[in-house]
Amino acid sequence: FLCLNMAGMSANLLSLGAVDFGIIIDGAVVMVEGIPVMLDHRARKYGMTRFNKLAKAGWIKNTGTGLGKAVFFSKVIIITSLLPIFAFQKVEGKMFSPLAFTLGFALLGALLFTLTLVPVMSHMLLNKNVREKRNVFAEFWERIVSKGLAVTLRNKKISLAVSLSFLGLTLLSARFLGTEFLPPLNEGALWVTAEMPMSISLKESLKTTEDLKKTLREFPEVTNVLTQAGRSNDGADPNGFGFVQFSVDLKPKEEWGRKISMDELIEEMDAKLKRFQGISYNYSQPISDNVAEAVAGFKAENGVKIFGDNLHTLDELAQQVYGVLKDVDGVKDAGIIQNIGQPELVVVLNREKMAQYGVALADAQSVLETAFGGVTASELYDGDRKFDIRIRYDQEFRKDEKDLARLMVPTQDDMLIPMNEISEIQQDNGAAFIYRDNVQRYIGVKFSVRDRDLGSTISEAQQKIDKLDLPQGYSIGWTGQFENQERATSRLWQVVPISLVMIFFLLFILFGNLKDSLLVLANVPFALIGGILALHVSGINFGISACVGFIALFGICIQNGVILLSEFHHNQKRGLEILAGIVEAVKVRTRPVVMTALMASVGLLPAALSTGIGSESQKPLAVVIIGGLITATVLTLLVFPIIYWLFYRNSAKERVKKRINRGS
C-alpha cells in the first residue's frame, strides 16, 4: 500500500480484485518449511541434548541463503512475467495495469520479508527442541506423489509420451474456445438507446418516449427507468429529439423471480420494444456505453466504419454492410448510424427572375434568415446573464414549404413578390451529422454480439463483408471491442517474447548454464493443460483476462521448477545416484510445492466463485490460474523429474565412472 500511495494509485476493485495472497506468501512458506526440516535433521543427527546446546545461526543462515537464492529469482521471474500486463494500453491497460502494479509491489514486499525477517524469526522461535511433527495432511500428499513418481519413473517413455499427447490434444482443443476482449460486466443496470426518425417533433418524441418507458417498467426485474430525449445538459452529445436514452435500474440478480440471464432479459425487452415501428435500439450498460463510445466514436459495442468522400455513396455502402451484418449469427441490434435523413427545404434562387423583378440577392437571403432562423434585434440583461432577443416568424407561419413559398421579398421598386416567383423550393434529406476519423469522413454501422463469442462472430462477418465491391477511394474499418481485442493481442505478441527472453536470462544467471534454463522453461507448457481445460469446463471464453491469468501462471510454474531443480542439483552434489536423488528431491519438495499451489488456488477461489457486480472481469484470470496450478503441480512432481533425467542421465553416468575410476 505504501508503494501504491507513492505511485499515486488507489486501492480498489481493479488493483486488488484478483491479487492472490497465496502467491504472495509462498516464498515465506518455502523458507519456513525448509528451515525447520533442516533443524529436525540436525537434531536427529546430533541428539536433542547436544542439539539444544549448539548455535543454530550458521545452519539457519546457510539454509536461508540456499533457499533464498531460489526464492529471490522465483519472485523476480514472476514479476518479470507481469511485463506484458504493464505494456497494455487504453482500456485493457486501465483494467489490468493496477492489478500488475499491486501484485508486483506486494511480491517485492513479500520477498524482502522472506529474505530478512523469516530467517531471524526462525532463529528466535526454533532454538530448542525442534522436532518435525507428524502431519497427516502432508503425509497423504507425500504418499500419493511417491507412488505416482514410482510409476512414472518405471515407465518414463510412456509417461512422457502420454503427457505430451495430452498437451497436444489440449492445445488443439483451444481452437474451439470462444474469444472475446473482456467478459461482459454486470453493472446492475441497462443503458438502452432508441433512435427515432430525425423528422420527429419534440411533442411526438416525448409521447413515444413515455410509451417506451412504460413498456420497460412492465418487466419485474426493473426497479426504475430514467429517460433523456435529445442532447444532454452539458451539450456533449449533439443529438436531436429522436435520440432517446433510458437508464434502466435492475434488481440484484438474486432477487429476480425468474431464472433468466441478462442476455435473455435483453431479448425479451427487444421483442416488446420492437412493436413500436421505425425505431432502432441499442442495449448496453452505463459504464460500458461510455467506454464503447470513447473507443468507437459512436454509441455501439462494435461497429464498422465505411470511409469515403461522398455521403450518398457512403450511405449506399452502409446499407449493403448492414444487410450482410444482420444475417450473421450472434449479431444483434444492428443498425446504421444516422448521418443522412434530416428533412430539409432547399431554396434554389433563379438569378434571371430576380433580375427581372429587381430583387437583390442579399434581400432574398435576409428574408429567409429572418423568417426561419431569426435575427438578433436586441439584448436582455438579467443580473450577470445576457439573453439575445431574436425576431422571426411565428411557428404558425413557418411550418412547411407552402409558408416558405408565401414569403414576401422586397424589390428595388419598393414592391413585394412571393418567394416562389424567384426560386424553386425542393424537399430533400440532408446530412444531420458528419462523422470523421483522422480527418476522413465515414458512416458507421453499429452492432452488438450476444449468444456467441466475439471472435468467431467478427471473423464470419469480416469474411462476408470482404466480398463487397467497394468503389475506388472507399475503405472499411472495424472498431469497438474487437479493435481493443486486436490491439491487446498484437501488444502481447510483441511483449511476451521479450518477457520470455528476460526470464531465460534470469534463469541463466541463476543456474549458470543453458541446459538448466531450457529445462525449467520446458516445464511451462504443462501449465497450459489445466488452464485451457478450466476454460472449457467453466464455459468461459478466452479473452484478455484469461490471458493475464496464463501470464501469471507461467511465473508460478517457473518458480516450482526452479525450487525442484535446485533440490535435484543439491542431491547430485551430495553424491546421490541420479534416480535416488530425484526421488529424494521430490519427497523433500512435495510439501512446499503442494502447499504453494493450494494456497494460491484457495486465495483465488473467491474471485473464481464470485457472482457480484464487477466479478466477471477477474473470474477468467482466477479460473485459469486455479486450473493451471492443478495440472502444473501434478506434472511438475511426476513428469518434470523425467525431463530432468533425460537432460542429465549421461552426465550422471560420467560422474559414476569417474568415481569408480578414483576408487580403483
Domain CATH number, residue 398: 3.30.2090.10
Residue 115 belongs to some domain of the structure: yes
Amino acid at 276: F
CATH number at residue 142: 1.20.1640.10
Q: How far apart are CA 319 and CA 326, in angstroms?
A: 11
Residue 642 belongs to some domain of the structure: yes
Does residue 192 share a domain with residue 120? no
Residue 457 belongs to some domain of the structure: no
Does residue 83 share a domain with residue 51? yes
Q: Which of 118-127, 334-343, 652-661 has the lowest mean pLDDT?
A: 652-661
Query: Cα 395 to chain center, whole Å?
Result: 52
- DSSP secondary structure code for residue 370 in this structure: I
Residue 436 belongs to some domain of the structure: no
Q: How far apart are CA 164 and CA 239, in angstroms?
A: 59
Amino acid at 233: N
Residue 308 belongs to some domain of the structure: no
- DSSP secondary structure code for residue 391 in this structure: E
pLDDT tens for each residue of 117-148: 877 777 777 666 666 666 677 778 778 888 88
pLDDT score of 659 more than 70: no
Does residue 142 share a domain with residue 71? no
Residue 95 vs residues 90, 101, 251, 271, 614: alpha-carbon distances, Å: 9, 12, 26, 34, 11
pLDDT at site 9: 63
From 416, 431, 446, the end of a domain falls on: 431
pLDDT tens for each residue of 508-525: 887 788 888 888 888 788
Does residue 154 share a domain with residue 87? no
Residue 578: closest CA among 570, 131, 409: 570
Global model pTM greater than 0.85: no
Mean pLDDT of 267-292: 81
Does residue 25 share a domain with residue 139? no
Strongest mean pLDDT among 331-345, 611-625, 626-640: 626-640
Query: Cα 282 to chain center, whole Å?
Result: 22
Does residue 664 share a domain with residue 578? yes
Q: Please give the tally of structural domains in the chain.
A: 4
From 237, 269, 284, the end of a domain falls on: 284
Residue 634 belongs to some domain of the structure: yes
pLDDT score of 20 more than 70: no
Query: DSSP states of 453-473 as a string?
Result: -HHHHHHHHHHHHTTS-PPTT
pLDDT band at 341 (very low <50, low <70, confident <90, very high): low
Give the number of other CB atoms < 10 A from CB of residue 48: 13
Amino acid at 427: Q
Does residue 358 share a domain with residue 219? no
Does residue 117 share a domain with residue 224? no
Mean pLDDT of 558-583: 80
Please give the mean pLDDT across all residues of the chain. Answer: 78
Q: Which three cell numbers stand for residue 562?
A: 526452479
CATH number at residue 238: 3.30.70.1430
Residue 565: closest CA among 77, 110, 54, 45: 77
Q: How far apart are CA 403 and CA 565, in angstroms?
A: 91
From 408, 431, 454, the end of a domain falls on: 431
Residue 269 belongs to some domain of the structure: yes
3-state secondary structure 220-285: CCEEEEEEEECCCCCCCCCCCCCEEEEEEEECCHHHCCCCCCHHHHHHHHHHHHCCCCCCEEEEEC
Cell 459495442 found at: 301
Residues spanned by the domain of 413: 342-431
Alpha-helix residue ranges (DSSP H) falling in 47-89: 48-53, 57-81, 83-86
Does residue 32 share a domain with residue 143? no
pLDDT tens for each residue of 615-635: 666 788 788 888 888 888 888
Does residue 346 share a domain with residue 230? no
Does residue 13 share a domain with residue 96? yes
- DSSP secondary structure code for residue 512 in this structure: S
Say which residue, 225 or 435, is predicted with more confidence: 225
Does residue 532 share a domain with residue 403? no
Give the number of other CB atoms < 10 A from CB of residue 311: 15
Query: DSSP states of 116-131 as a string?
Result: HHHHHHHHHHSSSS--
